[in-house]
Amino acid sequence: MKNAVGREIPEHIAGCKYNPYRGPWACIPSRQANGGKSVDAPAAEKVLKSIDAAIEAVGLRDGMTISFHHHLRNGDYVMKLVVDAIARKGIRGLRLTASSLSAVQDAIMPHLEAGVITAIDTSGIRGEIGKFVSAGKLPHPVMIRTHGGRARAIESGELSIDVAFIGAPACDIQGNINGVDGPAACGSLGYAMVDAAYADKVVAITDHLMPHPLQRISIPQTQVDFIVKVDSIGDPKGISTGSLRISTDPKELLISQYAATVIEHSGCFRDNFSLQLGSGGASLTAAKFIKEKMKTKGITAAFGVGGITGIFAEMMEEGLVNLLFDAQSFDSTAIQSLRQNDRHLEVSASYYASPGTCGPIVNNVDAVILSATEVDIHFNVNVLTGSNGRLMGAPGGHPDTAAGSNLCIVALPLVRRNFPVMRESVHTIVTPGETVDVIVTDRGVAINPLRQDLIHNLQGSGLPIMLIEDLQRLAYEITGTPTPAPTGGDIVGLVEYRDGTIIDVIRKIG
Amino acid sequence: MKNAVGREIPEHIAGCKYNPYRGPWACIPSRQANGGKSVDAPAAEKVLKSIDAAIEAVGLRDGMTISFHHHLRNGDYVMKLVVDAIARKGIRGLRLTASSLSAVQDAIMPHLEAGVITAIDTSGIRGEIGKFVSAGKLPHPVMIRTHGGRARAIESGELSIDVAFIGAPACDIQGNINGVDGPAACGSLGYAMVDAAYADKVVAITDHLMPHPLQRISIPQTQVDFIVKVDSIGDPKGISTGSLRISTDPKELLISQYAATVIEHSGCFRDNFSLQLGSGGASLTAAKFIKEKMKTKGITAAFGVGGITGIFAEMMEEGLVNLLFDAQSFDSTAIQSLRQNDRHLEVSASYYASPGTCGPIVNNVDAVILSATEVDIHFNVNVLTGSNGRLMGAPGGHPDTAAGSNLCIVALPLVRRNFPVMRESVHTIVTPGETVDVIVTDRGVAINPLRQDLIHNLQGSGLPIMLIEDLQRLAYEITGTPTPAPTGGDIVGLVEYRDGTIIDVIRKIG
């Protein structure tokens, strides 16, 4: 048989069947294993007139899975714009997967009530959506994943995304995207990178459409099917605050100082150590004390990782930290730093924390300071539900970095608003105690008995070291024994550990 | 049933079966759709003592597919080191896939003869390996792919790599890799990026093992299973010459000048146009004339793409080109530029040329100048076999950029060493004539009749425009009618078009 350039191609060659050439643009390569895309004829137009047009172009239909990232945080306009448009088209029964849900997403509540969205897969869940799910009103149980676990689930095909809608702070007309330019700059696009790489179809929603090509590219044009320009993708005030502030609250200062002292005496506080600091008050404030201790000892850190704050970026500017790995930029100082400093590296959620890889960067973290909603005497941590059982938080990278790091410190006050947060048992286990090394409170510090090396190293540190059971009893003495949250309702949610197993369930309340 | 943190997890939840949590490191996430890797316990040792140890660690066995990149070009030591070690272990029947094979790889000939390697998948094939395949001595037909087609085949799962051995000019102890540092710096690692992302197992072979983490990361630690340090991965003299030179040959100067004039009058020579220049003499030399014309007209290029030469990097330094997309750095000036200039961007073979994406950068190229071994009156191009039918070249990105670009110019002398290279029919069709717009020779310029716009625009350009049939007749007048190469032997190779179809076959000779 002759192919389209007149060459004789046998039907079978060496026992295999091959397709003869049919013309340079005649054959659309089949769907890629890697959620790849169909070939386009050269220079096919990607910029569409409206979100409605994009929904039609990608062939969205009932029952599909749509995804969003949360780098625009509480300033995000994209999810509401998209889900409103989907609802207007009468599409129903969608699974919504998001790297997290901020309070601003209460704006899509009408579409949950109307059945446009019937399943949710997310790290964080709060506000009205949290109440809706906790009340058992979502048809399918919500799936709560860690940042690393979500990347793993997407990369493994367990979480298959039909259409990713990517809020794009800067996007050129071929679909190259970055997060550092434009009026709604949010910094790193670490979570969105995974969605863009694996979704069947990708739509970029931007308010800063640029000529081709962007100089800085976080998500490549090869992954973007269509582009829609809108007036605004987000409110800069909700996307980033100014530089996050160090606390002046005496209790938080004390906790932070204890946490810094734990690191100092842990055995890992040496030249070229590595550090993760979250955006919580105690973690941020601890940076101040760690800086002082680093200067005193004359050491620098090889790298910092995580959600990056301006305080961390300033430590790099001062030469105290050599490199920053940034999966999420928490404030405008960090965003500016990512834009300008070539030692401030943008990384994907997979590089940050996925356990389904040859080793994410959290595996190389010496010390991390994390926060918690509740901790129990088995060192288990809850960062997802209130003590009343209601969904109001986010695992984020908590279980990932706890498992990966050498020294995982969880810092929290012993009592919050007269509730004991040191408990016999947390309501929801998000991070298993086996991966948590030290609990730091304003009233005492407890070391996980699995870590005899730390118990040894922290002798003579001057810290008020106690048994965790004693910390818990002290909390109950202050507040009285708490009423256990109700258990036994229908299951309304699953808490997935980063490896894909189920570590806890969320039950209906009220 | 209680999981490992004591929580009751029903066997089925909402009709689905889930796995209960078994401990933070108990569950190895399953193999990733994306050729992903198994989870490692935190900080598992990746650096192994020898290539032999790595071959054992990855579980290499008979019949598997191993891959290599050719960024170390004719200075590469890695392939020989690895295949020698494999042969010593008695492993046989492997498929070897490489982004290309340079003459230096003749060093593995004994392992082809001995059946260690029984199948080859590559872009380029030359020297003794070319002769071996052409003589029908390889058990399986060789598969010839384009750079973009290889990326597509890997991304789609058509070409599944069991173990990628990555020559790594710089590698840290966790496996972050770049190509710009170290004694064997080769610049871009564009081809290796695809292998690393999709191979089941990845072994980095480096002579420049660095502390963690590298500042510059082209291949991330998440994709690298093991690392082996060797004395040297390559000979810098074979990896890159100094800056590639502009020709002084009068015939080549004339061809280059004609090619530049075609671009000037084509209609695409305007501010912010985009350009690809290969490493061939005519293409390189044309840069000199294009520069002059750009300065005269007062325009700059939005971007350049391709294998990047120092001449292109200098055009960027001079402000004539805004950005460079570099899938392969051809000389030491280009390597230096990639290291230092943040407008010189490293891109993967997929971003460069894969048709299985939402649009590689070749789709956005206005004008490209390519070389050829032979051209025929249908504008078909052969860059793979000599007129005698022997394997001695490489499609590389030729068919990719011909299909993607708006203006594809193929520049070659009418006659080489008394052989006509303008022919009635090329021996092997690698790039279909439908995607080739202009043939430029020292004796005349032929425009593809499919491009009436170009025929119109090039009137009055002063170029010696002729019908392609007249060019061919002129060639035959000079050399006499050539003896056709033998056809009809057994099939020893397949020429895959970038979309996965078969555009031609290679037959056994003599």
**Has residue A40 got a pLDDT over 50?**
no
pLDDT (mean) for B44-56? 94
Question: Tokens for B315?
Answer: 């055009």
Which of B6, B427, B191, B306 has the alpha carbon at shortest distance from A503?
B6
What residue type is A258 in one-letter code? Answer: Y
Q: Which residue has the tokens 């670490």?
A: A190
pLDDT tens per residue across span A469-506: 999 999 999 999 998 777 778 999 999 999 999 999 99
Distance CA B321, CA B343 (A): 10
pLDDT band, very low/low/confident/very high, at B29 (cuts 50, 70, 90): low
Contacting residues of A for B21, CB less than 8 Å apart: 432, 497, 501-503
Q: What is the pLDDT of residues A209-237, one digit of tens each?
A: 999 999 999 999 999 999 999 999 999 89
Min distance B330 CA to chain A CA atoms (Å): 22
Strand-pair partners of B391: B385
The fraction of chain B above a pLDDT of 90, given in percent, is 85
Contacts of B225 in chain A (CB under 8 A): 358
What is B107-153 written as a DSSP string?
Answer: GGHHHHHTTSEEEEEES-B-HHHHHHHHTT-SSS-EEE--HHHHHHH
Rg of chain B, C-alpha, whole Å: 24
Q: What is the 3-state secondary structure (H, E, C) of B270-327?
A: CCCEEEEECCCHHHHHHHHHHHHHHHHHCCCEEEEEEEECHHHHHHHHCCCEEEEEEE
Alpha carbon distance A440, A413 (integer Å): 8
**Token pair in block for residue A56:** 């039609």
Residue B375: HSE in the Cβ half-sphere, 13 Å Cα cutoff: 33
- Cα B46 from Cα B196, distance rounded (Å): 15
Query: Rounded to whole angstroms, how far apart are CA atoms B293 and A442?
Result: 72
Could you give the C-alpha distances from A237 to A106, A127, A183, A243, in angstroms and in order? 18, 19, 11, 12
CATH fold label, A47-239: Glutaconate Coenzyme A-transferase (3.40.1080)
- Round to whole Å and give the CA distance between B224 and B174: 8
Strand order in the sheet with A226-229: A47-48, A226-229, A201-206, A163-168, A65-68, A94-98, A117-122, A142-144, A491-496, A502-507
Gap between the Cα atoms of B181 and B191, Å rounded:
17
Length of chain B, in residues = 510
| Structure confidence by residue, pLDDT tens digits, A257-270 | 999 999 999 999 99
Amino acid, single-letter form, for residue A60: L
CATH assignment, B250-485: 3.40.1080.10
pLDDT per position as a tens digit, B166-176: 999 999 999 99
The chain-wide mean pLDDT, for chain B, equals 93
How far is B335 from B330, CA to CA, in rounded Å? 8
Residue A358: which of B221, B405, B406 has the nearest Cβ? B221
Cα separation, A261 vs A254, whole angstroms: 11
pLDDT band at residue A240 using 50, 70 and 90 as cut-offs: confident
Instruction: Give chain A's length.
Output: 510
Q: What's the rounded Cα separation, in Å, for the pair B64 and B304?
A: 38
Instruction: Judge contact between B54 and B203, C-beta under 8 A.
Output: yes
Mean pLDDT of B126-141: 95
- Single-letter amino acid, residue A154: I
pLDDT at site B68: 98
Q: How far is A231 from chain B (nearest CA, A)?
A: 25
pLDDT tens, residue by residue, A424-460:
999 999 999 999 999 999 999 999 999 999 999 999 9
CA distance B444 to B447: 10
Worst-scoring range by mean pLDDT, A329-333, B76-80, B187-191, B386-390?
Answer: B386-390
Of the CA atoms within 13 Å of residue A14, those in its CB half-sphere come to: 16
Q: A461 with A264: CB under 8 angstroms? A: yes
B486: pLDDT confidence band, cut at 50, 70 and 90? Answer: confident
Mean pLDDT of chain A: 93
Which whole-number Å values give the CA distances from A260 to A43, A263, A286, A289, A315, in the listed order? Answer: 55, 5, 6, 6, 15
Q: Between chains, do A24 and B434 touch, taking CB under 8 Å as contact? A: yes
Task: Provide the pLDDT for residue B31.
Answer: 42
User: Any bridge partners for residue A409, and if so which?
Assistant: A369, A438
- The confidence band for B100, taking pLDDT boundaries of 50, 70 and 90, is very high
Angle at A158 between CA A156 and CA A160, to 5 degrees: 100
CB A184 within 8 A of CB A232: yes
Query: For residue B22, which of B46, B44, B6 has the smallest C-alpha distance?
Result: B6
Given this model, what pLDDT does residue B493 score? Answer: 96
d(CA B316, CA B164): 34
Name the token pair of A378.
């088995």
CATH 3.40.1080.10-classified regions of chain A: 47-239, 250-484
The answer, yes or no, to whether residue A411 has pLDDT greater than 90, is: yes
Neighbours of A17 (CB within 10 A): 8
Q: Which residues in A lie closer than 8 A to residue B347 (C-beta atoms)?
A: 220
**pLDDT beyond 90 at A41:** no
Where do you find CATH 3.40.1080.10 in chain B? 47-239, 250-485
Please name every residue paired with A393 in a beta bridge, in sequence order, or none if there are none: A125
Burial of A501 (0-12, 13-18, 19+ CB in 10 A): buried
Q: A82: closest CA among A217, A238, A182, A201?
A: A201
- pLDDT tens-place string over residues B408-433: 999 999 999 889 999 999 999 999 99
Give the mean model confidence (pLDDT) for residues B8-14.
88
User: Is a pLDDT exceeding 90 seen at residue A45?
Assistant: no
**Minimum distance, in Å, between the CA of residue A263 and any CA atom of chain B:** 19
Residues B156, A23: C-beta atoms closer than 8 Å? no
Please tell me the predicted confidence (pLDDT) of residue B252.
Answer: 92
% of chain A residues with pLDDT over 70: 96
The CATH code of domain A250-484 reads 3.40.1080.10
Please give the helix or strand (H or E) that residue B367 lies within, else none: strand B367-370
Minimum-distance CB partner of B39 among A46, A220, A356: A356
> Is there a contact between B231 and B194 (Cβ–Cβ < 8 Å)?
no
pLDDT of residue A257: 97
Rounded to a whole number, what is the distance in Å from the CA of B97 to chain A's nearest CA? 18
The predicted structure's pLDDT at residue A44: 65
Tell me A243's DSSP state. S
* Lowest pLDDT segment from A41-45, B10-14, B495-499: A41-45
* Set of chain B residues whose Cβ sits within 8 Å of the Cβ of A31: 156
pLDDT tens profile A53-99 = 999 999 999 999 999 999 999 999 999 999 999 999 999 999 999 99
Chain B residues within 8 A of A360 when measuring between CB atoms: 222
**Residue A222 has what DSSP assignment?**
G
Nearest CB among A357, A434, A491 relative to B36 is that of A357
Tens of pLDDT, residues A100-145: 999 999 999 999 999 999 999 999 999 999 999 999 999 999 999 9
* Residue located via tokens 């446009």: A116
